[in-house]
Structure 1
């Protein structure tokens, strides 16, 4: 099995559940990043909110770093789930 293979997501009900949960986390992270950047951009119109705007940009940047991390963790988890099945088949007979 290899990472980022579509069939890894469809191997079982559990793999579909894991994939769906990670997609939900990915989408929430996307919305959080976009909201932080949008609100931060608006706050830059007022000098007194500059520090808050900078913090929102930092939060948005963190979320954008989190996105590929979530995908990699998901794929490794799915890969391990598939490898368990392969190992069990090897020892059956």
Structure 2
């Protein structure tokens, strides 16, 4: 099994739990970013709220940037849990 496969995290109960926690974090980041963009968009209707709206967009963008980083961290964490055979196969070609 290679990196970023959907069934990657379901080999052991510990890996299933770890995978579920990462998916929960990923979803929370996604929802937070979407809400910040929605709030920022609504705030733009009022000229006096333009600066806070811009900050909502900036912070939302940071959350969106965390998503791929979190996926990479998850894959490395699962690999460190003992899934060395798949990792070795990837590097052998």
Displaced runs of 4 or more, over 6 A:
none
How much has 1:59 moved relative to structure 2? 0.7
> TM-score, normalised to structure 1's length?
0.83
Larger radius of gyration: 1
How much has 1:2 moved relative to structure 2? 3.2
Gaps of 5+ in 2: 87-93
Give the RMSD, CA atoms, in angstroms. 1.8
- C-alpha change, 1:85 and 1:13, in structure 2 (3 Å) is farther
Task: Report the counterpart of residue 61 of structure 1 in structure 2.
Answer: 61
Deviation per CA, 1:29-50: give whole Å up to 9, x if none.
0110000000000000111000
Matches within 5 A, 1:64-75: 64-75=64-75
Task: Report the counterpart of residue 14 of structure 1 in structure 2.
Answer: 14
How much has 1:6 moved relative to structure 2? 3.6
Q: How many residues end up aligned between the 2 structures?
A: 86
Deviation per CA, 1:58-77: give whole Å up to 9, x if none.
01100000001111100111
How much has 1:7 moved relative to structure 2? 4.0
